[in-house]
Amino acid sequence: MPDKSTRKESSRRLPPLLRRAWYSLNQTFRHRIAHLGITPDQYSILRWLHEGDARGLTQQTITDLMASDPNTITSILRRMEKAALLSRHPHETDRRARRVRLEPNGHRVFTEAFEVARSLQEESLAILPESRRARFLAELDAVAEACSEAANRKKPL
């Protein structure tokens, strides 16, 4: 039977650690923004729209940013449009595409949810000394990029 240190090391594998961190963060955020009537995925869309092109983003761009499938994104956008968080408009040059834009209510909800997200990030990172937080986030970004590149590489089995 492996000793305690070996078991501790084996529990420090990247996939379960990332999953546990993401799941806990996502569930906490979900509870803290529930009063705003949005989900974490909807917050992500609001954030992408807030940070993106002032003319709006295409549904395909949102699908790519969310790493999701078009049907799921269309369903989420439909619910968000019904809640007056965003609106969808014909694209100016591509008749097949639609531009998605934030509505005033979407800006308001995003602003409130952003403060919740900022506070939760500060709370979550408080376990680290302040001097290490920026480096930790940069390293996590590098790991995320490496994972993305690995996913995009087509290696035979």
Dump pLDDT digits (tens) for 105-123. Answer: 999 999 999 999 999 999 9
* Domain tally, the chain: 1
Instruction: Say whether pTM exceeds 0.85.
Output: no
Segment 128-141, tens digit of pLDDT? 999 999 999 999 99
Q: SS3 sequence, the chain?
A: CCCHHHHHHHCCCHHHHHHHHHHHHHHHHHHHHHHHCCCHHHHHHHHHHHHCCCCCEEHHHHHHHHCCCHHHHHHHHHHHHHCCCEEEEECCCCCCCEEEEECHHHHHHHHHHHHHHHHHHHHHHCCCCHHHHHHHHHHHHHHHHHHHHHHHCCCCC
Distance CA 147, CA 25 (A): 20
Domain-embedded: residue 145: yes
The CATH number covering residue 138 comes to 1.10.10.10
Q: What digits encode the pLDDT tens for the residues 23-67? A: 999 999 999 999 999 999 999 999 999 999 888 999 999 999 998
Assess contact for 71 and 109: CB atoms under 8 A.
no
Task: Report yes or no on 32 lying in a domain.
Answer: no
Place of tokens 């906490």: 28
Compare 106 and 156 and report the one with higher pLDDT: 106
Evaluate whether residue 19 is within a structural domain. Answer: no
Predicted pLDDT of residue 133: 96
Whole-number pLDDT of residue 156: 58
Judge whether 102 and 46 are in contact, CB under 8 Å.
yes
Please indicate, yes or no, if residue 10 is contained in any of the structural domains: no
Domain, as residue range, for 104: 38-151
Share of the chain above pLDDT 90, in %: 75
Is the predicted pLDDT of residue 7 greater than 60, yes or no? no
Of 97, 45, 90, 86, nearest to 68 by C-alpha is 45
Rg from Cα positions in the chain: 19
